[in-house]
Structure 1
Amino acid sequence: MTFTDIQQALKSRGFDPGPIDGVWGTRTAAAVRAFQASKGLTVDGLVGPRTAAALGLDATVTNPLVDMSLVWFQAAWRLLGTTEAPGTANNTAILQWASALGIRYKGDDVPWCGLFVAHCIGSTLSAEPLPNNPLSARNWLKFGVQTTGQVGAVAVFYRGDPKGWLGHVGFYMGQDDKAYHILGGNQSNAVRVARIAKDRLLGFRWPSTVPPGSGKPVLLTPSGQLSTNEG
């Protein structure tokens, strides 16, 4: 099951998801909610097993990294490779993330890991409250509800002093013996996957408007050095 499959199934049943483009946006989420209401399902705008079955789709998840119910995590995957502009220039896409959320943001020389997480969640989960000042990585410890390391969880880390104010935030995608594998922004100035030492973790959070995830960690093979550049 892909986002395109969901959009096509909605459209064939008279619920307009917008363009059939495989991208999860507000129109697709609204169409899902309308469909759920028409079928007496829980209206959460997410395509879990019951909604998928009602749409005639197979919701079996064989790889948690491509679970279509984790719409915010899939949004993060689509942005893999996004980089900030060199020198004094700015990547206009990153500036637009802030503008769409009404966040004052002067340029991509300002750490944008929190902005990346806010964009992925804000653009896909319209009912999910974001933390105050989402640019501050440690403020994400107040987001949603506490959870464990599982695909899509918001992972918050410290930088420098554990009791200081510097931090980093991204999305859990797996772990090895020594590190969490994090899909995040501003990791060596780009959206990429980084290995971050487990002893730097401050906490995992989960969207409050989304059903609890599997709670299962994903074990991955170590690849590359531990990250030391996330600011």
Structure 2
Amino acid sequence: MASERIRAIQNALIAKGFLPGEVDGIWGRRTIAATKEFQKKMGLEVDGIVGPNTIIALFGENKSLPGGPLLPWLSEAQQLLGTKEVLGKRNNPVILDWADDLDIHYSGDEVPWCGLFVGHCVAATMVDEVLPSNPLGARQWEKFGDPIEPRLGAIMVFWRISKTSGFGHVGFYTGEDETAFRILGGNQSDKVCFTWISKDRFLKARWPRTAASLGGGQAIVKMNRAQDLSSNEA
């Protein structure tokens, strides 16, 4: 659904005379630049985010974006589902490339990479967003962006080992039940996947500051859990 929404935006931009590059369902720099050019021409807030006003300008008053609002950082995370570490001394070059793109010294994918994954998803799709000073540190994401209540796409920070250990985990909210959050994150069972984390471990939810036009995204997503709780994401 995420790639379908992005393709719809790319086709709408082309129809309006703007060039997002190939219609590939990927929220890349050319699509962001085309969105900003369109927003500037239409007198909208030039943030590269397809919020409610940009959706109306692109699709008209009586049409909506297929599948609902686009959260580009969450779309990127969804496209990376299944990305995993390489066992042994070798490393997954995809994960190493995330660090290179962020100009982070990263010795290899045996080092916990949940913060790196979140940093990549945000930086690749929100080019004006300021990341934490050390994106590798999961607890550093407690200072990111603006505070928000847990909801679809929110960056969720949890403690790990103990609340005072300084160790943590970070990922994206995709749902919840009465006792746990469903998190899309990296370094979960050594790969990008969904897992359930107890609400007792929750610290903070944060929202990208440059995505303010999205109005905080969709409200909470209730789900039925059919998976054991995660106990360690290192």
Which TM-score applies when normalising by structure 1? 0.94
The Cα of 1:154 is off from its aligned counterpart by: 0.4
Sequence identity (%): 48
> Quick check: 1:23 aligned with 2:5?
no
> Quick check: 1:34 aligned with 2:37?
yes
**2:200 aligned partner:** 199
Q: How does 1:115-194 map to 2 (within 5 A)?
A: 115-194=116-195
Which residues of structure 2 form unaligned runs of 5+?
Answer: none
Contact 1:140–1:156 (CA under 8 A) maintained in structure 2: yes
Q: Deviations over 1:103-148 (max 9, x none)?
A: 1111000000000000000000001000011100000001001111
Structure 1 pair 119/184, CA: closer, same or farther in 2 (3 Å)? same
**2:79 aligned partner:** 78
> Quick check: 1:14 aligned with 2:17?
yes
The Cα of 1:11 is off from its aligned counterpart by: 1.6
Q: Distance in 2 between matches of 1:100 and 1:223?
A: 36
Query: Match of 2:64, as an amino acid?
Result: A
RMSD after superposition: 1.4
Contact 1:113–1:169 (CA under 8 A) maintained in structure 2: yes
**2:64 aligned partner:** 59
Q: Distance in 1 between matches of 2:102 and 2:218?
A: 29
Query: Match of 1:42, as an amino acid?
Result: E
Secondary structure of 2:210 counterpart: coil
Contact 1:148–1:215 (CA under 8 A) maintained in structure 2: no
Structure 1 pair 60/10, CA: closer, same or farther in 2 (3 Å)? closer
Q: Distance in 2 between matches of 1:38 and 1:101?
A: 31
Contact 2:114–2:187 (CA under 8 A) maintained in structure 1: yes
Q: Distance in 1 between matches of 2:56 and 2:159?
A: 42
Which TM-score applies when normalising by structure 2? 0.93
Secondary structure of 1:203 counterpart: strand
Contact 1:3–1:68 (CA under 8 A) maintained in structure 2: no
Q: Distance in 2 between matches of 1:28 and 1:170?
A: 25
Structure 1 pair 94/67, CA: closer, same or farther in 2 (3 Å)? farther
Query: Match of 1:106, as an amino acid?
Result: S
Greater helix share, 1 or 2? 2
> Quick check: 1:227 aligned with 2:224?
no
Structure 1 pair 67/73, CA: closer, same or farther in 2 (3 Å)? farther
**2:110 aligned partner:** 109
